[in-house]
Chains A and B, each alone.
Chain A
């Protein structure tokens, strides 16, 4: 069961709000973009890892890292960074596990942010 603290660390809200200059509309907009784009990038990353293509793994992990960083998904960003580093080192055996961790971290972060956005509307 996730605690309130864990949910909060999934998304660094003060940092995120400062980045969007407290524009809730902009926040909802970029969250929407993330939600729409994430499945495709995740799928590319998964395929790249499965096929052992380190170059594509690196590129997609980099993009994923950037997107998570932009929304202050701290844990997810750290997971994406680990995948990037593993791909650079060609440490293929750990990639599937790290991908699973990344998926979990993104889902948790999305849920947190969604809740935050709904609370803001109320």
Chain B
């Protein structure tokens, strides 16, 4: 045990130090009262101290008083060193907070005996404190301990910007029925086992080596798992920066509690309802965060139990929704919940279908069809866009090959597939695409990759090389969003692009805005002058189509012809047309790639 020895008399100090070392103490020596107080009030400070009465910078009784006034530190056993003739002052020493006294110079046997007495007192203290703050059944900290710790965390949150903590309220579902049917002894054993599994779940999920948590380096031992009621536990995650981490812990808890508990020949399966709440920076309030977790836990119960819910702050709810969507998206990739829809691209001159654009849709098992705008950003962020993109390309190529195979006498249909920046950044993009084409059997010339302008901006020489390799496979390349980024016209010359795309925002205004009409006309002229074809997206009215035909736009796409539809409807469109808008496909005339050109909005910016 560590003991502090404070005495300005160097001879006395050395004698006492040796005597204490002989008794097995780890002695810290100081020569004045201020240093003594500093040592005793520091975290993990000595639990026992011998203080000389008269010392520079603060005497022994003053140090005792200071230590006793300090709240929140473990009890320190204080012994005052006093001269024989000053024995009358010992009452003052006790009143200042001393536990015992020694007269100088000390008798070694007396010193040892008083030290042993002090250690016994401390052991008893610690034992009583432990019992007062721990649950007797599970040995976990109890409500009293948790409340103290919560107060410390709230104080920290108010004093340190950036510090956050998270609470999880964990309630064992239907515990009362288990107790009633199997008896309280089984119920108690169950709670002991649940406590152990919770500890393991939290230790595993919040350990420094865990890949899933974004913890700051303040040490994970600050986490607390406490039992605060019969079947209620609370977990305090210290210094957690992200609610997603709290949700991961909740999922881990559900995972570890899922296997059955085997208690006295009974197999008991439980679920838990979990409520999660996070601190709110420097405005953190104990009651609010407790209420948030409690409310969320009850919401979990109401919504069917065996789940977790996040507390009712808007930010937390939004983060929770996003987290769930991300988790669902990962599962969707594993289970292939994606469909490809097809929107026809037609020759404006004769409304002949020449290609389809492949568009991804996610059929969520609970939420139904989810539009790309809701999940593509998350997919891009998480990297899931790569497997999703491959799924889409594979399905689209397989479908297109099927169309072309079933009607070999007709002109082959092309398919346009979008490539995201994340996919473009993949090291083996070209090989992957080649593999998909080989697997599906689609003629290379029938595949067109639609790229965005910013996709090529990151590393121009690398982009140039990849695009050249793709072209060498026989694919076509179209450039979307041209002019909305930072590139110039030189990129049109540098990259092997065959298509420019007019953004729908210009097409929608073409009837009413002279400027839009002129921009479109300019883009068409630019594309033609560079040997490219031009596609207009978002054609919704007959008037728009006529104007575009007048402006000699080559191809069109939009609701006027058809929205994006599933493969069955797309097949029907190909075979029978749509209300005469689409004539039948023409016979095969030439074996050439199907050029699809889409003028990109903003390309006018680069002309200036």
Chain A positions within 8 Å of B, measured between CB atoms, are 18-21, 23, 26, 29-30, 33-34, 37, 59, 62-63, 65-67, 69-72, 81
Contacts and interface: CB of A to CB of B under 8 A. Distances in A.
A20 B15 contact: yes
Given A19-B105, A70-B11, A65 B83 contact: yes
A19 B104 contact: no
Contacts of B14: 29-30, 33
Interface string B37-53: 00000000000000010
B457 to A, nearest CB: 77
Nearest to B52: A66
9 contacts: A19-B106, A21-B108, A29-B14, A33-B10, A37-B10, A59-B54, A62-B54, A63-B54, A66-B9
* Size bracket, chain B contacts: 20 to 34
Nearest to B19: A21
A18 B107 CA distance: 8
Contacts of B12: 66-67, 69-70
Nearest to B103: A69
A11 B229 CA distance: 68
A21 B106 CA distance: 12
A62 B108 CA distance: 22
Contacts of B22: 21
Top 8 nearest A-B pairs (CB, nearest first) are A66-B9, A70-B11, A67-B11, A70-B12, A70-B105, A69-B105, A33-B10, A34-B11
A102 B83 CA distance: 19
Given A21-B22, A59-B54, A65-B83, A33 B108 contact: no
B475 to A, nearest CB: 90
B18 interface: yes
Contacts of B54: 59, 62-63
Interface in B1-42: 8-12, 14-15, 18-19, 22
A26 B83 CA distance: 23
Contacts of A62: 54, 83
B18 A19 contact: no
B19 A70 contact: no
A59 B33 CA distance: 14
Contact of B104 (A21, A23, A33, A70): A70
A33 B11 contact: yes
B85 A70 contact: no
A70 B108 CA distance: 12
B83 A70 contact: no
A20 B12 CA distance: 11
Contacts of B56: 59
A11 to B, nearest CB: 13
A42 B10 CA distance: 14
Nearest to B18: A26
A19 B9 contact: no
A70 B8 contact: no
